[in-house]
Amino acid sequence: MSSTSNQQLDIDLGPTGRPMPELPEPAPLDGHGPARIISMVNQKGGVGKTTSVINLGAALAELGRKVLLVDLDPQGALSAGTGVNPYDLDVTVYNLLMERDHDVREVIRSTSTDDLDVLPANIDLSAAEVTLVNEVAREMALARVLRPVVDDYDVIIIDCQPSLGLLTVNALAASHGVIIPLEAEYFALRGVALLVETIEKVQDRINPRLEMDGILITMFDPRTLHAREVCQRVVGAFPDKVFHTTINRTVKFPDASVAAEPIISFASSTKGADSYRQLARELIARGAAA
């Protein structure tokens, strides 16, 4: 093979070492709903779950999709990251899970991004794991909460807490798909097998429609051999499930979090914003979002 051909192959390869597919601009929708529900799950903290939920949601909204983000983490980082002060809330997703006399539409908050809403949470949610244990159909509480608004949105994305407890099982039971954000770091690989096992158990016992939409490589630094090797190992283990899009490290993500804005609007022309736009197009191209 000539050196020119080798150069051409290098140019065509994406950050995961595979040829990048064409990701056309999605066609506008004729109407909205019913939503496809996606859980963003990893029992390891600090892998970019909340950042990915906010920015993927904002990128989908930019494409004309109506998006609801669900905060299912008692830390309330998703709520805070979309401009909702979790400590000012009288009624949150916790009350919807535990009490029947609330209207979910009255708890949902709009954000500064058009077509992007949030169902907020705060520290009250930490009591849900213990309280739900005694409930009938305890794994289906979140599905019940979301049922009245499924037809109002095109995509619902759930930000799960970093554990595989009952709240995360509720998210998986309510979902059509799962995205696993995975830091490009060796120790992050170790928990993936346990997470996949949990997803398979939920598929078998509670929610047969659940699919793994993909693994999203986050905090990726293509300049380091370590990050590239981790990426190759993940692609080798899950060849059809790793998104072609990767999310690279950038200081703009923490800055956007402080500003309580998606990077799509906070730093619209940056590589980080473009990565989430590409991820939104890839998700739609895969059929994992409308």
- Residue 190 is predicted with a pLDDT of 78
Q: Average pLDDT, stretch 243-254?
A: 78
Q: Order of strands, edge to edge, in the sheet holding 67-72? A: 109-110, 116-119, 67-72, 155-160, 36-40, 177-183, 211-220, 242-248
List the chain domain ranges: 36-286
Could you tell me which residues come within 8 angstroms of residue 51 by beta carbon, excluding any fewer than 6 positions away?
Answer: 81, 218, 247, 253, 257
Is 50 exceeded by the pLDDT of residue 4? no
Sign for the pseudo-dihedral over CA of 83, 98, 207, 172: positive
Is 60 exceeded by the pLDDT of residue 5? no
Q: Which pLDDT tens digit goes with each residue over 146-155?
A: 999 999 999 9
Q: How many CA atoms lie within 13 A of 45 on its CB side?
A: 6
- Residue 98 is predicted with a pLDDT of 92
pLDDT band at 231 (very low <50, low <70, confident <90, very high): confident
Is 90 exceeded by the pLDDT of residue 208? yes
Question: In which residue are the tokens 């899009």 written?
Answer: 245
Q: Please tell me whether the overall predicted TM-score, pTM, comes out greater than 0.95 for this model.
A: no
Count of H helices and E strands in the chain? 13, 8
- Residue 6 is predicted with a pLDDT of 47
Q: Average pLDDT, stretch 5-28?
A: 72
Is 80 exceeded by the pLDDT of residue 275? yes
Mean residue pLDDT across the chain: 87
Among the ranges given (63-67, 218-222, 260-264), the one the predictor scored with the smallest mean pLDDT: 260-264
- Residue 251 is predicted with a pLDDT of 59
- Residue 37 is predicted with a pLDDT of 98
pLDDT band at 8 (very low <50, low <70, confident <90, very high): very low
- Residue 107 is predicted with a pLDDT of 95
- Residue 34 is predicted with a pLDDT of 94
CA distance 246 to 250: 12
Among the ranges given (107-116, 184-193, 233-242, 246-255), the one the predictor scored with the smallest mean pLDDT: 246-255
Is 90 exceeded by the pLDDT of residue 140? yes
- Residue 225 is predicted with a pLDDT of 85
Q: Which of 44-48, 52-56, 285-289 has the highest mean pLDDT?
A: 52-56
Is 70 exceeded by the pLDDT of residue 258? no
36-286: CATH class: alpha beta
Q: How many CB atoms lie within 10 A of CB 113?
A: 21
Is 245 strand, coil or helix? strand
Residue 14 — φ and ψ, nearest 5°?
-85, -175
